[in-house]
């Protein structure tokens, strides 16, 4: 699959605390990856921390793909390891060790790493099928042509990877917040033909995704806040993962009111007519930003995303 990434500063921030990268790695066959991070606004220098985490995750993936495809296929097989606990532990430990080293070299406190982290990678597994794996620490959005989920926390306070380095910070988090993580399921395969769906034209083909306007209240699932969000799929048409900044887009009306713009409109605008070539999102965003400026649409929070499309 082709992968691309993008990040964009929000109107309320001086520095963009979101960061996203994407690329390829070769291990017997070509694999692609995308990584996005959202730095905590209440911690200092997390714009740097988001970068530390993304590049540490990139290095961890390069190390992962020194393994054979058979080994990687086993690590990403949820029938053998529900929740991919072994893979999560390997990546978590390597990412944290590397990112912590970067912060220490920079003489910055560990709180600089207070940031969400989402990793998506795609490869041809030992069965010859395109396998896609998503692992997310913190809040964010996960969308494919078959399922859409929004991951959120009580009081908008995610449990960051950096908390694993400090028992006192973990205890403080658990005491201060209700320690609940929610997964809101907006649509899934059985609902794709629901009459409330709207059609968005993507990649010269037709993919139906949900129109949130007038859509029934989503199903809400409680999830262990200390465990990352993990999702695997085979041969998707597309995968779109973003930070929670995508939920802060709004349109300024003629009377001065601010009207929220639904998430699917933003996703549709970004993916519509995206060409299957390098930097497809970065190039498409030039058009999207121009159109949004003309429509008086902007966003208050930083926004970062990664996207995969089938070649």
Band (179; pLDDT cuts 50, 70, 90): low
CB atoms within 10 A of CB 40: 21
3-state secondary structure of 103: helix
User: Which whole number is the average pLDDT over 100-125?
Assistant: 94
Segment 25-63, tens digit of pLDDT:
876 667 999 999 999 988 999 999 999 999 999 999 999
Query: Is the pLDDT assigned to residue 270 strictly greater than 60?
Result: yes
Q: 254 or 112: whose pLDDT is higher?
A: 112
Predicted local confidence at residue 184, as pLDDT: 73
Q: Give 204's Cβ-side CA count (13 Å radius).
A: 4
Question: Rounded to two decimals, what is the model's pTM?
Answer: 0.87
- Among all chains, which residue has been given the structure tokens 């008086």? 296
Query: Is the pLDDT assigned to residue 237 strictly greater than 60?
Result: yes
Q: What's the first-to-final CA gap in the chain, in angstroms?
A: 5
Give Cα separations from 284 to 122, 221, 242, 274, 275 (angstroms).
Answer: 22, 34, 16, 6, 8
What size, in residues, is the chain?
311
- Dig out the tokens for 91 from the structure: 């990546």
Contact 238, 34 (CB under 8 A): no
Phi, psi of 293 (to 5 degrees): -60, -40
Per-chain mean pLDDT for the chain:
83
68-72, 134-138, 164-168, 271-275: which is most confident: 134-138
> DSSP for 183-196?
EEEEE-GGGTT-TT
Predicted local confidence at residue 207, as pLDDT: 35
User: Which whole number is the average pLDDT over 95-114?
Assistant: 94
Fold of domain 2-309 = Phosphatase 2c; domain 1 (3.60.40)
């Amino acid at each position: 699959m082709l992968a691309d990434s993008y990040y964009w500063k929000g109107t309320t921030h001086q520095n963009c605390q979101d960061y996203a990268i994407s690329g390829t790695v070769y291990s017997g066959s070509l694999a692609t990856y995308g990584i996005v991070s959202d730095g905590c606004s209440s911690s200092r220098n997390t714009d740097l921390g988001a970068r530390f985490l993304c590049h540490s995750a990139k290095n961890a993936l390069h190390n992962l793909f020194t393994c054979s495809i058979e080994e990687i296929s086993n690590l990403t097989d949820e029938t053998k390891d529900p929740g991919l606990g072994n893979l999560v532990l390997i990546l978590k430990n390597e990412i944290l060790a590397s990112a912590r080293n970067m912060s220490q070299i920079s003489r910055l406190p560990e709180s600089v790493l207070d940031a969400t982290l989402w990793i998506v990678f795609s490869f041809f597994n030992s069965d010859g099928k395109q396998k896609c794996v998503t692992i997310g620490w913190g809040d964010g959005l996960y969308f494919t042509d078959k399922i859409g989920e929004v991951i959120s926390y009580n009081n908008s306070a995610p449990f960051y990877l950096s908390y694993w380095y400090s028992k006192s910070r973990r205890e403080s988090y658990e005491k201060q917040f209700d320690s609940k993580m929610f997964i809101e399921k907006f649509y899934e395969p059985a609902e794709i033909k629901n009459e409330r769906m709207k059609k968005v034209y993507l990649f010269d083909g037709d993919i139906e995704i949900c129109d949130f306007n007038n859509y029934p209240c989503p199903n809400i699932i409680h999830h262990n806040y200390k465990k990352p969000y993990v999702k695997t799929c085979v041969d998707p048409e597309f995968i779109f993962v973003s930070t929670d900044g995508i939920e802060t887009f709004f349109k300024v009306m003629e009377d001065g009111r601010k009207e929220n713009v639904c998430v699917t409109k933003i996703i549709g605008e970004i993916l519509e007519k995206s060409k299957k070539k390098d930097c497809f999102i970065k190039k498409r965003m030039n058009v999207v930003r121009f159109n949004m400026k003309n429509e008086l649409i902007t966003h208050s929070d930083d926004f970062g995303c990664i996207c995969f499309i089938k070649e």
